[in-house]
Structure 1
């Protein structure tokens, strides 16, 4: 007669849980992913979830930070001082279009789309992260074109968010890139200098 040995479950991998949540939030949005959806996908019990992440909103923040670390646009390279302003901004639009449409399922910018969350806490977390990127762009424009910095910064923010929304809606990658190139040409025309 053999003794039955109770097998212990392997320790829960918190980072793996964040990766699961990131994919779910990115594909469906914060509001459409329920706590029970997350718990089921991670195969853990509610007390373990709360012990690991605190709340759904706190997990969303961790997921957005993970997304940013892997997918943030390389603004330091795109806005490098050796590029003309029209070339840099045109490059930023095209890089964003390519990034937002690189995956067939996880489309758009997860942080930008997080700004649409009904949950105020989640929305504020997304806004705080989005503001970091906007700040870098604005500082670049303050140095390069101080008299046009505010309007150009607003134009870039609105255009990048529009590209993200269009990607989420299923616009093909080729068309997104064409729109990004058109926006770059518009900026170049406004600044009186051809990009690239």
Structure 2
């Protein structure tokens, strides 16, 4: 997982994966089938471990605004952790891939879309419960938060500090959560 996260799907060669896993390529193929299947398992593990903050934040906070704020702040911590590659595997793990890697690209796009849908559902819940204005457009606000998350991941990968990312997040969330996007 760390090798795919650090180098990306295409740049992580079978020789690199073999060395990182301590297995010879035939053993990797026997265990996983192919590189794509191994990548799918790594992405699933990432989603269930490193990115597990996302559903927790959205489920555990009392209001949608609190949930989104926590989601973004915990994402920054995950993207900036010193002991792991910077950024987000689900954002950068299959960028700049050729046609032979469409499966990896589609897989990660699916994770990102599912995350956006999860955010929109939490915003809808906030509207229904009255802690978000009735005029809020959940899908558009969810897209805004998803774009923010993906941008923060790219910035972390490029070396932005957690402090810098927190400042950007506070600026971005301040207006979005106090004046949610609507059709005005």
Smaller-chain TM-score bracket = 0.7 to 0.9
1:144 alignment counterpart: 126
Instruction: State TM-score, norm by structure 2.
Output: 0.82
Alignment coverage as a number of residue pairs? 171
- Give the unaligned 5+ runs of structure 1: 1-21
Q: Cα deviations across residues 110-132 of structure 1 (Å, max 9, x unaligned)?
A: 11213525110111111222233
Instruction: State TM-score, norm by structure 1.
Output: 0.77
1:101 to 44, 63, 80: 80
Bigger fraction of residues in helix: 2
**Separation in 1, partners of 2:81, 2:22:** 29
1:120 alignment counterpart: 102
SS of the aligned residue for 2:74 comes to helix
| Aligned 8 A contact 2:64 2:125 in 1 | no
| Aligned 8 A contact 2:3 2:12 in 1 | yes
2:34 alignment counterpart: 55
- Judging changes above 3 Å, is the alpha-carbon distance between structure 1 residues 84 and 44 closer, same or farther for their aligned structure 2 residues? closer
Higher-Rg structure is 1
1:165 alignment counterpart: 154
C-alpha displacement at 1:76, in angstroms?
A: 4.3
RMSD of aligned Cα (Å): 2.2
Q: After the TM superposition, which segments of 4 or more aligned residues of structure 1 sit over 4 Å from their partners?
A: none
Structure 1 residues 168-183: aligned runs within 5 Å: 168-183=157-172
SS of the aligned residue for 1:92 comes to helix
| Aligned 8 A contact 2:79 2:153 in 1 | yes
